[in-house]
Amino acid sequence: MSIFDPAETSLAAPSDGRSWLERVPVAYWVVGLILLIMPAIAGDFMLFQIFGWTFILGLIALGLMFLGGYGGMVSLAQMSIAGVGGYMVAIFGVSAIDTISLGWPWYVAIPIALIIAMLFGTLTGWLAVRTEGIYTIMITLAIAAAFFYFARQNYVMFNGFSGFNGVLPPMLFGVDWRGAAAFYYLTLFWAALGYLVVLYISRAPFGLALQGVRDNPRRMSALGYNVTAHRVAAYTFASLLAAIGGILLTWQSAQISPGTAGIGPAIDILVIAVIGGMRHPVGPFIGAFIYVILKTYAIDALVTLGLSGERFQLLIGIAFLSIVFWSPDGIIGLWDRLREDRKRDPLTGRGGEEP
Amino acid sequence: MTDFARRHPIWAAVIAILVAILIWMIFALWPSWLVDLIGKKKVFLNALFNGITLGGLYFLVASGFTLIFGLMRNVNLAHGSLYLLGGYVGYEFAELTGYWLLAFPAAFIVVALFGILLQLGVFRRMEGQDLRQTLVTIGISIIMADLMLWGWGGDFYNISAPSWLSGPLETILVTTQKRSGDLVYLKYPLVRVVIFLAAVTIGVGMWLLLNRTKIGMLIRAGVDDRDMLSATGARIQLVFLGVFAFGAGLAGIAGVVGGTFQSVAPGEDIRFLLASLVVVIVGGMGSIPGAALGALLIGLAEQFGSVYMPTYAVVLTFLIMVGVLAFRPQGLMGRS
């Protein structure tokens, strides 16, 4: 299972007397600054459609990366959990379907939505951890399909095929959160928060125990760790990320329907996480960016090449396949390999690691 | 069977009573209170037979899936695409030659060759890396779905059965009694009966092949411990290749059957992939009898669900899956 090689995170923080602010790597400052001043550079379409969507899909895939990279469990139910989050906001909050929507204020509806989505995710996890490895993929795929069909056929709660439209974010602080810049900052905030929390957890006792469970469940259970509880808790945390992403996704398109959480989108999340790489939380965001760029511009590129724009899936499939074939660790893996090559001594061919 | 009855007397009794009730419901003339309760007997019988024949179709798809999984530990998520490819190939061949029966060997051979290509080009290169193989099959299914959409478009194709199979079959089962006292017998499409019988034949043949021949012995040994088998000098790669080709070919045949029962269209690949996933999860991974039992259960659940609780028909099958997972994670016939 070379995809899930142990994460190369430096676990022991260097205690060289610098404050934590000084220990933040330069790359973080640069990327952070660029992302913060992005609204001054990019147009509304870029902000809302490209970056907003990237952050949302990245956030949902981040949950999968957390499960897969640190827990060794690949779940395809992430998108369904995001769908539950979106649906619950539409059901408990305000939408254009006022026969079903309860119209509760956002500070009630959103926490309820998050809690229900987490309950659903935990239940999924509880079922999925009864099995291992490839079985998990099959079971979560089946659960995702069940949710899709259920939402499509249930008209009492989920409003069937058409779903809900007119689901808008609350007008908090007098800001229209669907405005391009405001939505950009909203999604950026949650994506950055999710990223940092995952990074933190990966070095916290829970994350370390989870990685131990991934590498050797029997030894961990002999050490007195409750393996099942750790795995289910990982699902719960991943579903929180997915639920936040799902709510943002619903706000972005102002609607939610069964197609949002269909089987195609569920597999897309896996594609995103694998293309980006599952070893580091930055992977899902890279993968999401590539996916969104492809999905937005591939049609134009294909048309100029003389192919029909409908062949987008083919392009995505080939990209996914070649990544899985040649670089199981995704783009991050490619990057790492490139860096190792550069560090290698050209004469001896050794090195690659810092002395 | 006597073993099962001895170990679980209560369960055996429950199953016996259920079977007795079912037999009575099939053969007896329904009293009016039962008709008032659950509707006409004809509806019930049709749902029952549709469920059983659909189960036969599911068995064809899922048995290849479970065979490949059992031997190679390879979850082939492109299995639905193989099914769809078989359907298209069978349709083209039946149109070209005009012989419905020829569609079956054609689909079998083409899809089996494709399976050999997959096994040689993809799976052998990453042996033992289950997860990577699974991801690759997802990629392949995405690409294949789009290529087939490119080639055949989004239309529905129906493979028409020949005229000698198209009529209804007069059965000996009574559905109702007319006022004049005449008995009304159930009519059922002949083609479904024939195809179901063919599925049963294939199933029994597979069971015999696995349990009574030398090749079957090799395969069973490979399922149990493939390292040991290859150490004894068996050419395990050849066995792998053969099993993969056979499983893929079965999916191709199932595609023709599905194209005759229903239709060939984009999206069917996912549907049948999910169906075979649920069937093998319920029945137990890698077990042929398990696939048969699971297929029967899921087919019946789907048909009865769509008749008696139309809104939640699909959900019923997943509830069965969840129930099995919660109480018997290895599947009904699986070995723990």
Three-state DSSP at A300 gives: helix
Residue predicted with more confidence, B23 or B182: B23
pLDDT at residue A346, rounded to an integer? 63
Start-to-end CA span in chain B (Å): 19
Task: Set out the domains of chain B in order of their start, with CATH numbers.
Answer: 47-327 (1.10.3470)
Reference A192, options A202, A182, A180, A200; nearest CA is A200
Which pLDDT belongs to residue B5? 73
CA-based torsion, B247, B249, B255, B257: positive or negative? negative
Q: Which residue among B146, B147, B274 places its CB closest to the CB of A142?
A: B274
**A316 contacts on B by Cβ (under 8 Å):** 142
Neighbours of A339 (CB within 10 A): 11
Q: A-B interface: how many C-beta pairs under 8 angstroms? A: 112
Does domain A48-343 match CATH 1.20.120?
Answer: no
Residues A237-255 pLDDT 10s: 999 999 999 988 888 888 8
Q: How far is B217 from chain A (nearest CA, A)?
A: 26
CA distance B235 to B219: 11
Question: What global pTM score does this model have?
Answer: 0.80
pLDDT for res A282: 83
Task: For residue A256, list its beta bridge partners.
Answer: A164
Q: Is A115 on the interface with B (CB under 8 A)?
A: no
Res B110: pLDDT:
92
Whether residue B177 is predicted with pLDDT greater than 80 in this model: the reply is no
| Band (A10; pLDDT cuts 50, 70, 90) | very low
Could you tell me which chain B residue has the CA closest to the CA of A327?
Answer: B132
Give kind and range of the element (H or E) at residue A255: strand A255-256
ipTM above 0.85, yes or no: no
Q: Which of A7-16, A154-163, A335-344 shows the lowest per-residue confidence on average (mean pLDDT)?
A: A7-16
Quick one: what percent of chain B has pLDDT higher than 90?
6
**pLDDT reported for residue A351:** 55
| Mean pLDDT of chain B, nearest integer | 82
- Cβ–Cβ below 8 Å for A153 and B130: no
pLDDT tens-digit profile of A113-139?
899 999 999 988 888 887 766 678 878
C-beta separation of B292 from B299 below 8 A: no
CA B280, CA A159: separation in Å to the nearest integer? 32
Q: Judge whether B317 and B278 are in contact, CB under 8 Å.
A: yes
pLDDT at A58 over 50: yes
Angle (deg, nearest 10), helices B130-152 and A134-153: 40
The pLDDT tens digits for B206-261 are 888 888 888 888 888 887 777 888 888 888 888 888 888 998 999 998 988 888 87
Q: Which among B139, B281, B313 has the least Cβ separation from residue A324?
A: B139
Tokens of residue B130, six digits: 């289950």
How does pLDDT run across B8-67, given as a tens digit for each residue?
Answer: 788 888 888 888 888 877 777 777 777 777 777 778 888 888 888 889 889 988 888 888
C-alpha Rg value of chain B to the nearest Å: 21
Q: CB-hemisphere CA count at 13 Å for A29?
A: 6
Q: Are B173 and B26 in contact (CB under 8 A)?
A: yes
Beta carbons of A153 and B314 less than 8 Å apart: yes
Residue A52 token pair: 């907003």
Nearest CA in chain A to B151: A311
A68-124 pLDDT tens trace: 888 888 888 889 999 998 888 888 877 777 777 777 777 888 888 899 999 999 988
Q: Inter-chain contact B140–A321, Cβ cutoff 8 Å?
A: yes
Distance between CA B140 and CA B142 in Å, rounded?
A: 5
